Amino acid sequence: MLRFALSRALSLALSLVVASVVIFAVIEVIPGDPASYMLGLNATPEAVAALRDQLGLTGSLPVRYFAWAGGMLTGDFGISYTYKVPVADLVAQRLWISLPLALYALALSTLIAFPVGLIAAARRGSVTDYGIMGATQLGIAVPNFWFAMLLVLVFAVNLRWFSAGGFPGWEGGPLPALKALTLPAIALALPQASILARVTRSALIETLSQDYIRTARAKGLSRRQATTRHGLRNAMIPVLTIIGLQFSFLLAGAIIIENVFFLPGLGRLIFQGITQRDLIVVESLVMLLVFAVILVTFLVDLAYAVVDPRLRRRA
């Protein structure tokens, strides 16, 4: 297990290095000088020179890369040009909206998808199964930001149960904050739950047709016992993969959903960074998002090894 974890950790580190080089290179590709790009056409040469200095653009390429990457490692993400505060502070503030939102959506999606997929698999070929499959097919086709608009239309405009957007902060207790995140989380969760339900169903159907399930039944276990004791655990591998993949979709999806509900999270920050040409914010945030995705992939790999001992030996 330790060897497996170490080899995965090594590939995690390697991915991070390559990803950071790619992001750094893309920002470097910007035609002309990032400093004059950020300041626009009317900037004085003195202002551009001052910003170049502040951005650390005076050194050679490798020096600049190591300064940036080294800073990221120690939690120094640079100073936002437009906000005049460290990017790390901005991230720390905004993370308390984006992360709970993604986790809320992930929890909702899993809570809905598991039972639904289980029922569909257990009643395979029935009207219930076809109904569920049809509904998930529709759920996959609905863009989450449009679903979010429909939720606003129904629950905020017509029923007035929720506000159409904004965030009260966590200072007033967790309930108002969670309430503000509920519609966004539902909007994010719907397509993911549809995919997850389909994967759960097909993974279970696949597992339940295995010989060891037949053996378990022959030894006297009921259908339910065989499913819960032997089927579920073996069906977890593809389901875990999808949950891991979904995390990156949820993070990216949160970027858009935050814009629908005017939530001041990381997603809003990225877009403000783009429109205000604040490259330091964009560069550091993209790196952070990629780091989060790579880290989750690593954790999912470890989770596999816990669920399936065969994978430990293979590494």
At its nearest, how many Å lie between other proteins and the CB of residue 33? 13
Degrees to nearest 5, angle at CA 247 with 246 and 252: 95
Task: Give the footprint of other proteins on this chain (CB under 8 A).
Answer: 15, 18-19, 22-23, 26-27, 29-30, 137-138, 140-143, 145-146, 149-150, 152-153, 157, 248-249, 251-253, 255-256, 259-260, 270-271, 273-274, 279, 282, 286, 289-290, 293-294, 297
At its nearest, how many Å lie between other proteins and the CB of residue 296? 10
At its nearest, how many Å lie between other proteins and the CB of residue 172? 26
DSSP H or E stretch at residue 18: helix 2-29
Query: Cβ closer to other proteins: 181 or 293?
Result: 293
Q: Is 281 exposed, middle or buried (0-12, 13-18, 19+ CB in 10 A)?
A: buried
Query: Cβ closer to other proteins: 153 or 178?
Result: 153
Query: Cβ closer to other proteins: 107 or 150?
Result: 150
At its nearest, how many Å lie between other proteins and the CB of residue 174? 28
Query: Cβ closer to other proteins: 51 or 279?
Result: 279
Q: Which of 24, 30, 33 is nearest to 287 (CA)?
A: 24
Q: Which residues contact 147 (CB under 8 A, 6 or more apart)?
A: 187, 190, 191
Enter the DSSP assignment of 220. Answer: T
DSSP H or E stretch at residue 139: helix 127-141
At its nearest, how many Å lie between other proteins and the CB of residue 204? 14
Q: Which of 281, 259, 262, 261 is nearest to 270 (CA)?
A: 281
Query: Cβ closer to other proteins: 177 or 196?
Result: 196
